[in-house]
Chain A
Amino acid sequence: MDECREAERLGAYGDGELSDAARAGMEEHLARCPACRAELNRLRALSHMLAAADEPAMPPAAMKRFHKAVDAMPMIELAHIAEVFGAAAASILVACCLWLLHARSSGVTSGQIPIWETVAIARHETTVTAPEEQLTQWIVQDLSEKTRHDQN
């Protein structure tokens, strides 16, 4: 179809969607372009035809169904949130399991306690009890020597 370049803006003109300046320009153009005037009439006829089409009426049962659905929405939303948290918890659990598996395979096992851990948990009893132990050893040694001396 041999079409005027302005034809593409006819729809916006017919819909009242052009700016004031563009509308004035289009009106000037329409006054001298019979092809665009005919096209504008066809567009208007189409709009009337579409507007006359039956508007789908919503069945009353549908409205009841929607209201019921709205009532159930807080629970659906809670279930959705629980689902999200559940998935997050499962992901964390899986991540922990993988980390443990990785830790084992890289040689850090329960039988091989790292040095830093041994030092950290070591009890320093030796320094506390040393004088008492030493004293006990001296007494035992002394008594042993005395017994040996008496036997001789």
Chain B
Amino acid sequence: MRGTRNGVATESRHLETTDRELVERARAGDPSAFHELLDRHAGFLYSMAVPLVGNAADAEDVVQETLLGAYRGLRAFEGRASVRTWLAAILIRQAALRRRHERKRMAASAQAATAVEGSRQFPSAATAADARIDVTAAIQGLSPDHREVIVLRELHGMSYDEMAQALGVPRGTVESRLWRARRQLQERLKEYLA
């Protein structure tokens, strides 16, 4: 299991106070505080953005937009969720905006749309040399709602409550989305799970 997953609860509890202190300092106009928040959470945000938007270049843009959104929203941060969950929520919204923008752009260009359809042909289990490639492709093939819950839970080990806060949906919705998303992944990856 990856580092972000093990000991998430204890680590976040340990860092929570200092994260909030950094937010307070950044609110008070201390530029170094926001840089420190960036150092602390950029890796997490980036690794979440890549599977959500599907490529590294867009993921960088989404992280940058998330940082700007967080900077603008510093005063609105109420501290109900952890700073990490708050940033994840902003990133999810930014990724959704990016996907919407991308869809519009693709719809405006028939040629581009054809090219994208081509790029969405994920390798099947029978032809893929590496199961990891198929895992990435299978996650990419999920609907945005299902992809989000898989990324937050399976790749970042968030609790259902944290996911509900980040996604702005009830906990029951998180559970049912996760159930359906896992079902689809089981189907797509059945050759490896048999």
Contacts and interface: CB of A to CB of B under 8 A. Distances in A.
B132 A54 contact: yes
Contacts of B51: 56
A65 B56 CA distance: 14
Contacts of A82: none
Given A17-B159, A53-B132, A47 B154 contact: yes
B50 A62 contact: no
Q: How large is the interface on A (under 10, 10 to 19, 20 to 34, 35 or more residues)?
A: 35 or more
A50 B59 contact: no
A58 B186 contact: no
B123 interface: no
B131 interface: yes
Nearest to A7: B179
Contacts of A12: 160, 175
Given A53-B136, A56-B59, A46 B159 contact: no
Interface string A38-67: 000011011101111111111100110111
A15 B2 CA distance: 16
Interface residues of B, number: 44
Interface stretch (A70-78, A110-118, A128-136, A139-147): A70-78
A8 interface: yes
A12 B186 CA distance: 16
A90 interface: no
Interface in A1-31: 8-9, 11-12, 15, 17
Contact of B154 (A50, A56, A70, A80): A50
Q: Is the interface of B mostly helix, strand, loop or mixed?
A: helix
Nearest to B1: A51
B153 interface: yes
A54 B2 CA distance: 9
A63 B42 contact: yes
Interface in B2-59: 2, 4-5, 31, 34-35, 38, 42-43, 46-47, 50-51, 56, 59
A76 B69 CA distance: 11
Contacts of A74: 31
B83 interface: no
Given A46-B189, A50-B150, A62-B60, A55 B2 contact: yes
Contacts of A63: 42
Nearest to B51: A56
Contacts of B42: 58, 62-63, 66
Interface of B: 1-2, 4-5, 31, 34-35, 38, 42-43, 46-47, 50-51, 56, 59-60, 63-64, 67-68, 71-72, 131-132, 135-136, 139, 150, 153-155, 159-160, 175-176, 178-179, 182, 185-186, 189, 192-193
23 contacts: A12-B160, A15-B178, A17-B159, A17-B160, A45-B193, A46-B193, A49-B189, A49-B192, A50-B135, A50-B150, A50-B154, A50-B155, A51-B1, A53-B132, A54-B132, A56-B50, A58-B42, A58-B43, A62-B42, A69-B64, A70-B35, A70-B67, A73-B67
